[in-house]
Structure 1
Amino acid sequence: MKQNRSLFRRFLKVHFLFIFLPPIMLIFISAFFGVSDIHGKNVNTLNLFYVTVLLFGFIIVAFVILSWLFFLKLQKRLARLQEVMSFSAKNNSFPEPISVQADRMDEIDQLGSSFNWMIHQLEGSRKRAYEEELLRHRLIANLSHDLRTPLTILRGHVTRLNNESISLEGQHSLTEINHTITRVGDLMDDLLSYTLLTSGKHPFEPVSTDIGRLVRAAIAAWYPVFEEKEIQLEADLPADETFYWEADPKWMTRVLDNLFQNIIRHAAEGKYANIVVDVKRELIIVADRGPGLDKSSHEGGAGMGLSTCHYMLNKMNLKADFTSNENGTSVAIGRA
């Protein structure tokens, strides 16, 4: 950007004029008019001394006043720019462009012009990012929907082949294919759910929620599934005590469903699940005796499901602390 006028150069010019011009004028006047005759020499010298003192006093006062006015104007312009920046930081939004005098364009105006250009670039970047995010969500939703048809066709062929006379190895292969189809379907469901969630398709409606009652209802809904998988379920749910969180009941139920589903998918071989509502510490603890998160990764699906849980909990000002090893996994949900 071309610099048209310099604020500090003007400041230096004015102040140097006030410093050097009056003494030069004093020297010039004293040289031509200072001593007119011998009899008035003492009077003229005294007058010249008073004039010199007065002139230097005027220079000092003028220098202070000009400096004060300059820095006061400079401080006001910088404070206006700082106010715009701090307002945007507090409100988590882009600031409004500031006014710039194109005919002046000193250093402060150039700073303001660069600031306005930065705002324009950031707004353009945010718009492009928003459009790309919408496109990504639309693409994932369409893919998740379109892939269900071939999976359904594959499952139909597997069912037909199960009714045919084939060897034991063939039966085993069909079982693995059917299991893989189910796993891919679950992955697609998790991916679609996460996409819809992050795009705001699932409304967030926090209310004061009885956590003990919510966990009890979730366990009751999943108890037949645990029983079918022969998983021993231990639940420590105080009957007379509870605590409340400002949370969305549907989202909290979704989080618990995801954790219970992970036990069924990845820790069923441990044949154990423990669910605790700790009223004193205000915690929900879900534990299993599976192989741990690291060794269950071959099943897939846990990563996207856990990402969904973390996103929901973060929106509700909650957090999940995972402790996992070869003896099992424990998840403690509490306040962030």
Structure 2
Amino acid sequence: MKQNRSIFRRFLKVHFLFIFFPPIMLIFFSAFVGFSNAHEKDLNSLNLFYLTVLLFGFIIVAFVILSWLFFLKLQKRLARLQEVMSCSAQNNSFPKPISVQADRMDEIDQLGSSFNWMIQQLEGSRKRAYEEELLRHRLIANLSHDLRTPLTILRGHVTRLNHESLSLEGQNSLTEINHTITRVGDLMDDLLTYTLLTSGKLPFVPVTTDIGRLVRASVAAWYPVFEEREIQLDVDLPGDETFYWEADPQWMTRVLDNLFQNILRHAAEGKYANIMVDVEKEQIIVADRGPGMGNSSHERGAGIGLSTCHYMLKKMRLKADFTSNENGTRVTIKHTERTSTSASGEVNRWSLE
């Protein structure tokens, strides 16, 4: 392997020669002239002084020119490397490898070689991360699909046992088992939906959406469920007035479904839900009288549903402000550039944006 060369060592060698070699030659020449009697008569001290000044002037000029050429070449090589780095930073992409002269391999070439090696390592890491992400998405999707079969079998056995004569305690156990199966199924749906969203399998199709009409349709679909759980539904939806958002109707419906489902899971004991569309402020408000988000719940999961809502709302340039205390939770969906003030006395506050 060829030994690396030092650009600064070459610089010092060349300048050393131009600084010390001419004076040494002048001293040698003067000494040689001193031994020659014939030349001693023709060479006077004034000519020797002019020769010395001329020689030192040449040394200074040569020193400046060589230094300027050296640093100009060095600046061009460093500027080329800096240009490659700046271009990649602006385009948010990996830079292309730079050319390196293997027969020279000075400090700048060594820096370029290290830079090229770093690019290769980063590209390899990104490729491995992409493959691992695809594998993770595929694994979650397959698990969500495969786990539905045993859950369906369990639900079939629970249905069969419901027709058998069981004690009151047995009936309560079957009810709890059925409820747990439903809960696990909902969690798998949330996980599968989030995986499909983050992998780009559920496309985002924004259109001009009538928000009043969309909320009204969602409330009508969930009304029998609230009525079955004996939850008082207070709905304030203007009939003639409305507003429009550039949003994906399916994604907005999914967000509302998640909020309504959270009321049934965590705030059903409050027996109240308020759904309102504020046309003037262009907001959707969903409130309940549950124990609040700060209190623990045996059905509280890892927040996959809220993560899904976060992703959808952010994609649609919306956000959800969560205001919660022991008297209930209030969710306000609005544009990200809009701000709102909250009432006094709030204990906990979350912002999903």
Q: Tell me if both proteins adopt one fold, taking TM over 0.5 as the criterion.
A: yes
Amino acid in structure 2 at the alignment position of 1:195: T
What is the aligned partner in structure 1 of residue 243 from structure 2? 242
- What displacement does 1:35 show? 8.8
Within 5 A, what are the aligned runs for 1:89-104?
89-104=89-104
1:12 alignment partner AA = L
Moved more, 269-278 or 126-135: 269-278
Specify the alignment match of 1:201 in structure 2: 201
Q: State the distance in 1 between where 2:19 and 2:208 align.
A: 73
- Say which SS state the counterpart of residue 298 (structure 1) adopts: coil
Q: Is the 8 A contact 1:22 1:55 kept in 2?
A: yes
Structure 1: tracts of 5 or more residues without a match: none
The code of the aligned residue for 1:221 comes to A
Q: 1:290 to 1:101 in 2, by over 3 A?
A: same
Aligned twin of 1:314: 314
Which residue number in structure 2 is paired with residue 58 of structure 1?
58
Please, which moves more after superposition, 98-107 or 290-299? 290-299
Structure 2 match to 1:108: 108
3-state SS of the aligned residue for 1:153?
A: helix
Q: How many residue pairs are counted as aligned between the two chains?
A: 335
8 Å contact kept, 2:6–2:106 = yes
CA contact (8 A) 1:186 1:301 kept: no
Q: In structure 2, what is the equivalent of residue 16 of structure 1?
A: 16
State the alpha-carbon separation in 2 of the partners of residues 132 and 282 from structure 1: 41
In the alignment, which residue of structure 2 is the partner of 1:254? 254
Unaligned runs of 5+ in 2: 337-352
Alignment partner, residue 81 of structure 2: 81
Deviates more, 1:230-239 or 1:305-314: 230-239
For residues 266 and 279 of structure 2, what CA distance do their matches in structure 1 show? 28
> 2:135 maps to what in 1?
135
Change (3 A) 1:44 1:328: farther
Tell me, yes or no, if the aligned pair for 2:211 and 2:242 is still in contact at 8 Å: no
Q: How do residues 270-309 of structure 1 correspond to structure 2 at under 5 angstroms?
A: 270-278=270-278, 282-301=282-301, 303-309=303-309
Report the alpha carbon displacement of residue 203 of structure 1 after superposing the two structures with TM: 0.9
Mapped to 2, the partners of 1:2 and 1:176 lie a distance apart of: 76
Higher relative contact order (CA 8 A, sep 6+): 1
| Higher mean C-alpha deviation, range 49-58 or range 90-99 | 49-58
What is the alpha-carbon distance in structure 1 between the residues aligned to residue 208 and residue 80 of structure 2? Answer: 43
The Cα of 1:281 is off from its aligned counterpart by 5.1
| TM-fit CA distance, 1:33 | 2.5
Query: What TM-score, normalized by structure 1, do the two folds share?
Result: 0.89
Partners of 1:322 and 1:331 within 8 A in 2: yes
Structure 1 stretch 181-190 or stretch 49-58: which is displaced more? 49-58
CA distance in 1 between partners of 2:284 and 2:25 (Å): 88
Give, in angstroms, the shift of residue 320 of structure 1. Answer: 2.9
Residue 164 of structure 2 corresponds to which residue in structure 1? 164
SS of the residue 1:299 aligns to? coil
In percent, how many aligned pairs have the same letter? 84
RMSD: 2.7
Q: Which residue of 1 aligns with 2:348?
A: none
Measured after TM superposition, the shift of residue 102 of structure 1 is 0.8
Q: In terms of mean alpha carbon deviation, does 155-164 or 54-63 score higher?
A: 54-63
CA displacement at 1:45 relative to structure 2: 1.8
Contact 1:84 1:96 in 2 (8 A): yes
Q: How many angstroms apart in 2 are the aligned matches of 1:248 and 1:34? A: 100
CA change 1:103–1:38 in 2 (3 A) is closer
- The equivalent residue for 2:344 is none
Task: Single out whichever of 295-304 and 199-208 deviates more from structure 2.
Answer: 295-304
Helix, strand or coil at the partner of 2:103 = coil
2:326 partner letter: E
- Contact kept, 8 Å, 2:272 with 2:288, in 1: the verdict is yes
Shift of 1:288: 1.8
Q: Is the 8 A contact 1:4 1:105 kept in 2?
A: yes
Answer whether contact 1:212 1:242 (CA < 8 A) is retained. yes
2:203 counterpart letter in structure 1: P
Residues 242, 279 of structure 1: 8 Å contact kept: yes
Query: Which range is displaced more, 312-321 or 187-196?
Result: 312-321
Find the counterpart in structure 1 of residue 147 from structure 2: 147
Shift in Å, 1:83? 1.5
Q: TM-score, normalised by structure 2?
A: 0.85
